A and B are shown apart, each in its own frame.
Chain A
Amino acid sequence: MTDRREYDRIRRAASPLQLDLIESFAAGKLARRDFVRMGLALGLSSAALAACGGANSTTPSGGSATVATGVGVGGGSAANVKQGGTMKIASVAPSSPLDSVKMVDLAAYGLVAQCYEFLVYTGGDLQLRPGLAEKWEPNADGSEWTFTIRQGVKWQDGTPFTTDDVVSTMERLVKAGNSALKGVIESGSVTAKDASTVVFKLTGPNGNFPYLVSTDNAQSPIIPKALADGTTLDKAPNGTGPWKLSKFDAKVGATFVRNDAWWGGKTPLDSVEWVFFQELQAQVVALQSGQVDAIVQFSVTGGEGLLNNANLNVIALNASTHRQVWMRTDKGLFKDPKVREALAWTLDRDAMVQTLFKGKAEVGADTVIAPVFPYADASLPGRKKDIAKAKSLLQAAGVNGLTATLHAVKLQEVPDLAVLIKAGAAEAGITLNVAVEDTGSFYGKSWCPESPADPPCSGAADIGIVDYGHRGTPDVFLNAALSTGGVWNSSQYASTEFDAAFKAFQASIGVDAQKKSARAISDIMQRDTPLVVPYFYQYLSAHSKKFAGMATTALGQVDVTKAGLVA
């Protein structure tokens, strides 16, 4: 706020939402980091943010210049890399076809993001950066968003990228029931106003909307209008992005070569090779032995050896990735909220973070408003292990000697989490028998069986542990897992109070309002405890120190546009 006149000019030009944000920051209600993050979401330009005193925060930790080019996802550095060369990246094989609208796994997200581009990019720091959209702006209440589309961008086959491509992609997402956009936009909500402007008319106000068309919503990259529904990227390799898919075998790997016509400039690397592995330990060995140069993602379980390897750079991103221990609220042993809360008090969360993640996680307090979100309230009471409290809650519920089967998906640390939960619960007299199930039978039988289909997940087990990937906003967690009739609502939680609080959160604009409404959600979640959320863990990726400039999102969308061999 050095230049008073410039500041005033920005204030006058700002929309009401932007103004609210600027004033909150000026009044000291908001940390600089959060101000920048929210300002970007509301479409304030980097220059405007800088003028208001938020400049320093726009530079990602790696000291990169990625903001300006608009393609970096954060952390990458353009300095000191040689031209030319190939980078080999280890990944698990994609478990779903490379159909951007329908893919569901990290490996597919990463592959698709090399060719197709998003309107908006969410960096590892959760700040938004322009992609195929140069800027965006909400109306007064945040129910209508106007995106200005980048001009002069071409598809790899030479045809120009237009606003029609954006509209048709959004229609496809609505049709496919995209988990982030469901209930936010409908068919016909998105229209092209002119050749450079697309207008999104939302079903209600949403202050976080740009996140929903960013890398955070992994299924939302813009694909050509001409593409037939369901065509996979490998069948029709034609994106706007920096890399062209030249070879793909779903079991072996993928090769990408530089797209010389890319609007973002010339990438230092000539090509990028993705090598697929079935298991994490094979990837770890490959990276340690120099057979590959980077790994898309690894977990502390099994990848512990990479954390202290002097030849590697580990990228650790605070994320909203978490596990939910759902408990059926409509029937069965956990119907009484006191019983659910009792279980929540038996967890030794600090020990879990230490044992399972060697500290690379944050303790959760049974809310999905992760500490990484700017509107998370740090004063929310935690849930430290308290067996006496658990016992008295059980007593109050009139429960004596509870026995249940705890279903756990065979994925990373989840079976170990189940074991630790079991041990804590036993101290309060709750007997949990752990049943570890492979992904197929877990998702299909225990978590959200297809039948009975209405309401969704009504065939779910009484209690289980399911994994949730990172999102830049909690909307998907709140919408799918907790709203009445939500598509992933395995606890069958149905609370009109919660639904109203969620609506209020989506409609809340401005810092104070968002923080307050998010806190209201957390309070309801703690009181009703439909879920236990023990921790939020960091997303971990690593690359050889021979390379520099690699960046990634917590959804596996690796960005190597700035990467190259160290000069």
Chain B
Amino acid sequence: MTSTPNSPGRGGDPVGDPVENPVTHTHDLTEPTVAETVHGVIDSALDEQVPVPAGPPVSAAAAALTARKAARRETFRLLLRRPEFVIGTLIVAFWVACAIGGRALAPKDPFTGDPFQTHASPGSEYWLGTDRLGRDVLSRVISGARDVLLVAPISAVIGVAVGTILGLVMGYFRGPTDDILSRIVEAFLSLPVAVVGLLALVVLGPSNWTVIGVVGLLFAPIVARTVRAAVLSERELDYVQAARLQGESAPYIMFREILPNVTGPIIVELTVRIGYAIFTIATLSFLGVGIQPPSPDWGLMISEEYSQIINGYWWPVVYPSLAIASLVIAVNLIADSLQGVLSR
């Protein structure tokens, strides 16, 4: 902060370029580590009660970081006090265990059926009955967790990542950039996700990766709007102004200054999106363009068997439906708790 235009490392023009504002000199070779040192000290101290220094912007950022760590711990404590969070987590943990355990946990081979045991009703041999190809429904529901728990979170993460970048850009730059991007985002938002997903998958051809990509990209505009709103209020705060005055580049301010301060809404958005992704993927599989047979995907199982309900074969449909419902509800319970705690 204190370097002069004539500091030794700089040689040449003693007057200095008028365009080159003093903040640039933070990174001057002669005094290279002021900012880093301050960060380092406070980080290692991990002092929860560090007051936000009113002084230079560097300390403000550092303090904010510390405060966040404290807040995180507090948040977790508050979350554990909420029964809905605990229940939601337990259900999700159960399905994660099924996803990891997969075929090891399943009592029978989920892919091989007995031609003479098609649509066997639930009983001691097949706890949840068999499907039209004589495959064990319980084993399929258990191993079906893997696909959905892989595909849904990845697509939600893609959606949130792309949406966050878009939201940051829109909120930070405002003006024409925001106007143009906002209109595009709004145009996307007006399209029904399932219909666009259906079209895209028909054109691109169905595979797990296309599902992930398509669902992720379809969620991005929704996330972008939320993030933009958060960024808009954040960008007017002093620390952003200070960073700007300091001459930080726009990407730096967006990703290093603003982003850490909008993680709350982003985390909530991520959990909500996982819930929606489960639903959207199940819908697309149900419509027959998502995950391909013989995958024990829940949406696909329902789609393949729902026409059989009228023949009295309810079990291949009801159990995967319950699985989807339980997972979506559990994820939403977590999302609700997170939102309650983070927006406190």
Contacts and interface: CB of A to CB of B under 8 A. Distances in A.
Interface of A: 279-281, 284-285, 288, 301-302, 304-305, 350-352, 354-355, 358, 410, 415-416, 418-420, 422-423, 433-438, 440-441
Contacts of B116: 354
A75 B154 CA distance: 58
A441 to B, nearest CB: 6
A420 B312 CA distance: 24
B292 interface: yes
Contacts of A281: 307, 309-310
B204 to A, nearest CB: 11
B134 interface: yes
A431 to B, nearest CB: 13
Interface string B87-118: 00000000000000000000000011101101
A435 B205 contact: yes
Contact of A280 (B111, B112, B119, B307): B307
Interface in B170-219: 202, 205-207
Interface residues of B: mostly helix, strand, loop or mixed?
loop
A537 to B, nearest CB: 15
The 9 closest A-B pairs by CB, nearest first: A305-B311, A351-B115, A419-B294, A354-B115, A355-B115, A302-B307, A281-B307, A419-B293, A304-B311
Interface in B45-87: none
10 contacts: A279-B307, A281-B310, A284-B311, A304-B308, A355-B115, A358-B118, A434-B294, A435-B207, A438-B288, A438-B289
A239 B211 CA distance: 51
Contacts of A279: 307
A279 B292 CA distance: 21
A485 B119 CA distance: 44
B133 interface: yes
Interface residues of B, number: 26
A305 B202 contact: no
Given A354-B115, A423-B112, A441-B202, A302 B294 contact: no
Given A355-B115, A420-B133, A435-B205, A302 B288 contact: no
Given A305-B310, A434-B293, 8 more contacts: A285-B310, A351-B115, A416-B133, A423-B111, A435-B292, A436-B206, A436-B288, A440-B202
B132 interface: yes
Contacts of A355: 113, 115, 118, 132-134
Contacts of B118: 355, 358
Contact of A423 (B202, B207, B294, B311): B294
A281 B312 CA distance: 12
B222 to A, nearest CB: 27
Contacts of A435: 205-207, 292
Contacts of B304: 415-416
A190 B309 CA distance: 53
B292 A434 contact: yes
A288 B311 CA distance: 10
A353 to B, nearest CB: 9
Interface string B301-322: 0001001111110000000000
Given A288-B310, A305-B312, A355-B134, A422 B288 contact: no
A406 B307 CA distance: 24
A416 B289 CA distance: 15
A44 B129 CA distance: 56
Nearest to A285: B310
A422 B134 contact: no
A416 B111 CA distance: 12
A415 B309 CA distance: 19
A500 to B, nearest CB: 39
Contacts of B119: 304
Contact of B288 (A301, A410, A440): A410
Interface string B222-250: 00000000000000000000000000000
Contacts of A441: 202
A306 to B, nearest CB: 9
Nearest to B202: A441
A491 B312 CA distance: 40
B110 to A, nearest CB: 11
Contacts of A351: 115
A436 B288 CA distance: 7
Contacts of A433: 292
Contacts of B307: 279-281, 301-302
B106 to A, nearest CB: 16
Interface string B147-163: 00000000000000000
A436 B310 contact: no
Contacts of A418: 293
Interface in B125-139: 132-134
Contacts of B310: 281, 284-285, 288, 305
Nearest to B198: A438
